[in-house]
Structures are given as structure tokens and as C-alpha cells.
């Protein structure tokens, strides 16, 4: 079960911050430092091998370390620098087997800034592990997830959209996603249907749509109110944990056991769960 599906099932809680000149809006952003939101914690998911770029991308050289970012930088490096501009703390969420790969790109990131999955077990489990791990240190924090393998242009507009999402998450119990206004009818991306009027730079999500056929994609672009799903999310840690308990309680129970085993220093037990 992906996080986007969890957000869809909790539809009354899902809102979108659009990444476009119209959707980013001009409303003032509320700081998430202090107050209800606490710190802003960026989490960079950096797992998988990027198999769609094979043979250039392989398990020993996954997509997020390829020099595909601006000025030929690795995508992970570009994402990390982008995250530092919008967050108080930055953590990398990855698999144990990629620890050395991550260190090769981000030597300044020490063990305390890594959230390690024993093995890849899907997006929901990854974000659940991140939320539980971080909530021990930052109980009032807002998390923003920025995947490591995206090529991103327009730094100022991107930062504004991310800050809008963080502000919306900090001031509510909403799960927030950032969507990109489509420029062509892509069938390779999922879509967020968020019709309606902007409120403080956000829209209420009506539904999430998996990769559509060509006819549907053309209709989405023609009608408007649809955004590409970037899988950029923001939420208060406590809100996400509550939603995970409501919609995936067995996942949450196992993840709590993983965190407890690690706190007890029993990494082999954590890996077996």
C-alpha cells in the first residue's frame, strides 16, 4: 500500500500544494519553527536501483547517484542541497546495503542522519519507519519527503511550493502532497485530482489516479484540476503515525517492533521483523 493510497483513503485529510505559478499562490507562509509545527524535518528516500535506467543504473550505482542533476551533480546531492534550503534537519532514508553508496555522495551525512531500512519493504513501511524514528527525537516536528531521484528546475518556485505544503501540514491534521501542473498528457505518471479554489495556497484532494491511459491523460490536461503526482509529501509526524494506525495497523505494529529492537541494540531482530 503506497502512501498516496493511504492519503486517498483518508480523503478528508488530503490536501495538495500545487507546483505552478497559479497553484503556488502568493499567500504568506507561516513559519514551522516553534509553535504547533515544531521543526521542519526533510526526509530523502534514496532506495531502489532505478531499474528503468538500466544498464546505466545498477544495484551498485542506483539512479539517485548518477550525475543527472544540475551542473552534472548526482541527483541525491542536488536533492540534499535543495532540502537544506527548506528544512531545519535533513535525514536520508535508505537501505542498509546502500549505506556506503550514500556516504560516497554525501560524506557530511553521519550515521545519526541516516534512517536505515533492514531491506526495502515498500513506501508505506519506509515512511512509517522514518516517522516513528524521528518522533522519538522530534515529537512535534513536521516531515517533508523529497525523493532523491528527481531532476528539478526552478529552485525558488520549488522552495515556495514546499514551504506552502509544510505550513499547511504544520497548522492542521492534513496529509499534504505537492502536485505539478501537467504540461502534456503523460501516461507515465500518476495524477492528483484536486479541483476547486485555492485556500492559503492549497487545494482539497478529491482522489489519486494511477498512471492513466492516453485518452484519460489528454482529458486531465484539457479539463484542468489535475496535477502530476510527484510523491512529495508533508505531514506532522504524529498525524502520519495516527493515519498509519487507522489504515494499516499491522504495518504500524511491526514497525514499532523494529524501532524497539533497534533501541535495544538488537539489529538482527529488527532485520527479521
Res 32: pLDDT: 38
Does 266 fall in a domain? Answer: no
Res 259: pLDDT: 92
Q: Find the domain containing 40 and state its range.
A: 3-257
β-bridge pairing 202-204 and 14-19: antiparallel
Does 273 fall in a domain? Answer: no
Does 262 fall in a domain? Answer: no
Res 119: pLDDT: 77
Closest listed residue to residue 43, CA positions, set 144, 177, 167, 148: 144
Write 212-220 long-range contacts (CB < 8 A, 24+). Answer: 212/187, 213/187, 214/185, 214/187, 217/182, 217/185, 217/186, 217/187, 217/191, 218/185, 220/182, 220/185, 220/191, 220/193
Mean pLDDT of 158-175: 94
Largest CA distance in the chain: 55
Res 21: pLDDT: 34
- CATH number of the domain enclosing 196: 3.90.550.10
Alpha carbon distances (Å) from 186 to 10, 96, 210, 212: 26, 34, 12, 8
CB atoms within 10 A of CB 249: 10
φ, ψ (nearest 5 deg) of residue 231 = 60, 35
The band of 30, judged by pLDDT with boundaries at 50, 70 and 90, is very low
pTM for this prediction: 0.85
Does 42 fall in a domain? Answer: yes
Does 272 fall in a domain? Answer: no
The band of 38, judged by pLDDT with boundaries at 50, 70 and 90, is confident
Q: Does residue 50 have a pLDDT over 70?
A: no
Does 267 fall in a domain? Answer: no
The band of 273, judged by pLDDT with boundaries at 50, 70 and 90, is low
Number of domains in the chain: 1
Amino acid at each position: 500500500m503506497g502512501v498516496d493510497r493511504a492519503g486517498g483513503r483518508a480523503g478528508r485529510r488530503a490536501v495538495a500544494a500545487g507546483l505552478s505559478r497559479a497553484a503556488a499562490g502568493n499567500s504568506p507562509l507561516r513559519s514551522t519553527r516553534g509553535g504547533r509545527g515544531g521543526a521542519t524535518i526533510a526526509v530523502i528516500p534514496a532506495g531502489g536501483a532505478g531499474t528503468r535506467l538500466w544498464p546505466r543504473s545498477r544495484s551498485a550505482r542506483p539512479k539517485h547517484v548518477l550525475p543527472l542533476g544540475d551542473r552534472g551533480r548526482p541527483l541525491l546531492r542536488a536533492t540534499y542541497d535543495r532540502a537544506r534550503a527548506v528544512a531545519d534537519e535533513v535525514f536520508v532514508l535508505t537501505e542498509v546495503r546502500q549505506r556506503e553508496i550514500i556516504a560516497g555522495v554525501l560524506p557530511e551525512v553521519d550515521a545519526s542522519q541516516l534512517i536505515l531500512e533492514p531491506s526495502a519493504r515498500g513506501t508505506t513501511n519506509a515512511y512509517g519507519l522514518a516517522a516513528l524514528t524521528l518522533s522519538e527525537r522530534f515529537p512535534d516536528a513536521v516531515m517533508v519527503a523529497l525523493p532523491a531521484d528527481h531532476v528539478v528546475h526552478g529552485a525558488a518556485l520549488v522552495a515556495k511550493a514546499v514551504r506552502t505544503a509544510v505550513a499547511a501540514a504544520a497548522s492542521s491534521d492534513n496529509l499534504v502532497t505537492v502536485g505539478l501542473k501537467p504540461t502534456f498528457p503523460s501516461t507515465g505518471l500518476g495524477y492528483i485530482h484536486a479541483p476547486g479554489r485555492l485556500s492559503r495556497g492549497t487545494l482539497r484532494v478529491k482522489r489519486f489516479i494511477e498512471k492513466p491511459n492516453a485518452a484519460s491523460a489528454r482529458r486531465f490536461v484539457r479539463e484542468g484540476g489535475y496535477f502530476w503526482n510527484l510523491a512529495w509529501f508533508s505531514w506532522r509526524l504524529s498525524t502520519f503515525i495516527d493515519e498509519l494506525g487507522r489504515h494499516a495497523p499491522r504495518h504500524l505494529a511491526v514497525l514499532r517492533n523494529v524501532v524497539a529492537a533497534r533501541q535495544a541494540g538488537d539489529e538482527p531482530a529488527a532485520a527479521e521483523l
